[in-house]
Chain A
Amino acid sequence: MTIVSDRAFSVSRLPGFATIAVTVLVMLYLPIVLLVLFAFNAGPSPAIWEGFSLHWFPRAWANEQVKEATIRSLVIATSAAIISTSVAVLAALGTTRRRKSPGQTFVYLMINQPLMVPEIVTAVALLILFGFIKVATGYQGLGYLILAHSAFCIPFAYLPIRARLEGMDITLEIAAADLYATPWQAFRHVTLPMLMPAVAAGFMLAFITSLDDVIISLFVKSAGQDTLPTYMLGQIRRNMTVEVNAISTLLIGLTVILLTAFFLLTRERNRPQK
């Protein structure tokens, strides 16, 4: 390759960068692809291929523990996503499109706090706090997990909603107010419909975040309250079977579907504004 002749095109191309980038992308997917591939293995090993089979999926589902953990994970993720998205919408309405104030900085810090504090620290803190409450009230239910998940999902729900609000055209709401809409009517019929894609996007990020959580769930759950990730973590000690691959494959599939929806929603949002 002669550097001088193609310089006009290639000033931005640095030698070796393309090779590294392609290697990185391949390496990023290779482990996941193999994990998914072996979920369809006929044999019992996640490393020795013995032919294609779908039998691990019904087998995993036939496992009572897996079934219960799946349902529990979905209940927690749905509840936590609803709660965190609801409070995030309100907080975003309260913190955007107004003059900056010290109070606002405090709210930002609080909302982003779960992104900064190591999860293990929050986990042991919640272990202690909820331990007290469990003894005091005798309540052992899913409420603790839902509450803990709601808290760390808030920043994920908040960020897309805030971004959308900040980019939104305020004149429409002023027009609504001019036409004698009450603040609630303006919100209900003007702001909320425009905000909806971001609310859905925030909900999905919160849902994925909750579904992924291991550490906080591990410390907060009461006996017999395994979520899908904590169940999977428990399996690592035993002889790993392809069952884990099957569950992982479903989780990956769900993530890809939700992410694709997220991207479509946020792309929709940018289009009319351009």
Chain B
Amino acid sequence: MSSAAEIAAERKERRRSWLLSAPALFVLLFAASGPLLIILVYSFLPPGKYGNVEWGFSLDAWVGILYSRDIFDGTYKLADAHLTIFWRSLKLSLYTTLFTFLVGFPTAWFIATRSAQMRAVLLFLITIPFWTNLLVRTFAINQLIRNEGVVNTFLIWTGVIDTPIQIVYTDFAVFLGMTYVYLPLMVLPLYATIDRFDMRLLEAGCDLYASRWQVLRHVIVPVVKPGIIAGSILVFIPSLGAYVTPRILGGGRNMMIGNFIDLQFGAGRNWPLGAALSVTLLLAVAVALFVYVRYATRDDNRV
């Protein structure tokens, strides 16, 4: 076959590939990726008086992420309220990631070491909550821990407490809710790597007189590391951008970045600030993904 014909065939193949992908790309560009550019533009515009924006150029939104201007003397100072929200978002996301790992790892391990039939059943049991409406699951937690909720009602009924314990509308409630809704995202990738783990390595470790802890630390963790990283990223990213869970369980005072963005487009009437915050959140996610890709590829090279 002549190389010209090969090139022509390859070109035809490539064009066919683009044509087939075009409808999907069009929908995504129009209703997912493209609009993100508008956000970037909006973050450099001055806010309108009654919401939306005015046309012009302004860096106020970007300055406004960290600093607030005094209305009277025009001086800038650090916006404590904003910093509190950023810190809360980061802190709760890290706690959630850590805690889902601490309970998710033993769970994934337990599932992976069952018989084939049991594994299928247990995996299905983990998958159902994962696909169950996030709002419904958050509601379920809310009904459990609210002041008139099941836990408090039960404790009062048994006489353990007289007045309900305030759990809902605290940072702890948001942490609890996020742990609950994102746990399957940690268990599933962990399971995937543990499932491929060669259990004979454990026997080898034990035969060489390693303690269980040493085996865990030096044999298991290095091998399942890709799963740990994947699970952590899968939990950390949605936690950082969480909106529904902090809104229902944190209320108005325990906002995370997602709710803070929402506020700018609603009562806050500062769309450019909302846009700048969105770009910031997007960048934070990009950094997390970048770290993930670097770690994941490095591990691939080593193995």
Contact = CB atoms under 8 A, between A and B. Distances in A.
Interface of A: 7, 11-18, 20-25, 27-32, 34-35, 38, 45-48, 83-84, 86-88, 90-91, 93-95, 98, 101, 103-104, 107, 110-111, 113-114, 116-122, 124-129, 131, 147-148, 150-152, 154, 158, 208, 211-212, 214-215, 219, 229, 232-233, 236, 240, 244-245, 248, 251-252, 255-256, 259, 263
Interface stretch (B36-44, B54-62, B77-85): B36-44
Interface in B139-163: 139-144, 146, 148-150, 152-153
Contacts of A104: 17
Contact of B21 (A86, A90, A236): A90
Nearest to B100: A24
29 contacts: A13-B113, A14-B212, A17-B106, A21-B109, A21-B110, A25-B107, A25-B126, A29-B125, A29-B129, A47-B146, A83-B27, A88-B24, A90-B24, A91-B23, A95-B21, A107-B24, A110-B25, A116-B285, A118-B258, A120-B261, A122-B36, A150-B27, A151-B27, A212-B135, A215-B244, A232-B135, A244-B139, A251-B132, A255-B128
Contacts of A117: 32, 36, 282, 285
Given A119-B241, A248-B140, 9 more contacts: A13-B113, A21-B110, A31-B143, A47-B143, A103-B17, A131-B52, A152-B32, A212-B131, A255-B133
B281 A35 contact: no
A80 B128 CA distance: 22
A32 B244 contact: no
A35 B136 contact: yes
A147 B30 CA distance: 9
B104 interface: yes
A113 B261 contact: no
B230 interface: no
Contacts of A14: 106, 109, 212, 216
B248 interface: yes
A51 B25 CA distance: 53
A47 B135 contact: no
Contacts of B262: 120, 124
A128 B104 contact: no
B180 to A, nearest CB: 7
Contact of A126 (B17, B28, B31, B199): B31
B237 interface: yes
Interface of B: 13-14, 16-21, 23-25, 27-36, 38-39, 42, 52, 103-104, 106-107, 109-111, 113, 122, 124-129, 131-137, 139-144, 146, 148-150, 152-153, 180, 183-184, 187, 199, 202-203, 206, 212, 216, 237-238, 240-241, 243-244, 247-248, 258, 261-262, 265, 271, 274-275, 278, 281-282, 285, 289
A259 B202 contact: no
Nearest to B126: A28
A150 B32 CA distance: 10
A113 B32 contact: yes
A114 B285 contact: no
Main secondary structure of the interface of B (DSSP, over half): helix
Contacts of B23: 86-87, 90-91
Contact of B28 (A13, A94, A114, A259): A114
Given A14-B216, A118-B281, A124 B32 contact: no
B199 A255 contact: no
B168 to A, nearest CB: 11
B36 A94 contact: no
Contacts of B237: 116, 118
Contacts of B203: 11
A24 B101 CA distance: 12
B136 A248 contact: yes
Nearest to B36: A125
Contact of B109 (A17, A83, A103): A17
Contacts of B274: 124
A236 B150 contact: no
A124 B35 CA distance: 9
B107 A119 contact: no
Contacts of B39: 121, 124-125, 128
Contacts of A83: 27
Contacts of A32: 129, 132, 136-137, 140
Nearest to B212: A14
A118 B124 contact: no
A110 B28 CA distance: 7
B243 A95 contact: no
B17 A120 contact: no
Contacts of A240: 142-143
